[in-house]
Amino acid sequence: MTDTAQQVVKPVHHPRLTNADLAPLEKQTWGSYNIFAFWMSDVHSVGGYVTAGSLFMLGLSSWQVLVSLLIGIGIVYLFCNLVAKPSQAAGVPYPVICRSVFGVLGANIPAVIRGLIAVAWYGIQTYLASAALDVVLLKLFPGLMPYADVSQHGFLGLSLLGWFSFALLWVLQAAVFWTGMETIRRFIDFCGPAVYVVMFLLTGYLIAKAGWGAIDFSLGDVRYSGFDALPVMLGAIALVVSYFSGPMLNFGDFSRYGRSFKAVKRGNLLGLPVNFLLFAILVVVTSSLTIPVFGELITDPVATVARIDSTFAIVLGALTFSIATVGINIVANFISPAFDFSNVSPQRISWRAGGMIAAIGSVLITPWNLYNNPEVIHYTLETLGAFIGPLFGVLIAGHYVVARQQVTVDDLFSMSPEGKYWYRKGYNPSAIVATVAGSLVAMVPVLWTDGPGMKTTAQYSWFIGMALGFVVFSGLSRRRR
- Domains of the chain, start order: 28-375 (1.10.4160.10)
Q: Is 142 exposed, middle or buried (0-12, 13-18, 19+ CB in 10 A)?
A: exposed
Gap between the Cα atoms of 274 and 146, Å rounded:
44
Q: For residue 76, give Cα distances in angstroms to 84, 112, 136, 243, 327.
A: 12, 23, 34, 10, 20
- CA-based torsion, 459, 464, 466, 469: positive or negative: negative
Pick from 107, 437, 377, 336: nearest CA to 242? 377
Residue length, the chain?
481
Dist CA 140 CA 137 (whole Å)? 5
Report the 10 Å Cβ neighbour count for 400: 15
C-beta separation of 61 from 220 below 8 A: no
190-233 tens-digit pLDDT = 877 888 888 888 889 899 988 988 888 777 777 888 888 899 89
Instruction: Report which residue type is found at 259.
Output: R
Q: Bridge-partner residues for 427, per DSSP? A: 424
Under-70 pLDDT residues of the chain: 1-11, 371-378, 380-381, 481
Q: How far apart are CA 410 and CA 415, in angstroms?
A: 10
pLDDT at position 177, please? 84
- For residue 90, the model assigns a pLDDT of 94
Rounded to whole angstroms, the Cα distance separating 320 from 326 reads 10
CA distance 296 to 299: 10
Contacts of 206 (CB under 8 A, 6+ apart): 285, 286, 289, 290, 293
Residues linked to residue 155 through DSSP beta bridges, in sequence order: 158
pLDDT for the residue numbered 120: 81
Q: Which of 171, 181, 169, 129 is nearest to 336 (CA)?
A: 181
Sequence-distant (6+) residues with CB within 8 A of 245 are 384, 385, 388, 389, 392, 462
Helix count and strand count (H, E) for the chain = 21, 2
Q: Which amino acid is at 459?
A: Q
Q: State how far the alpha carbon of 409 is from the alpha carbons of 3, 123, 176, 209, 420, in Å.
A: 21, 34, 30, 59, 10
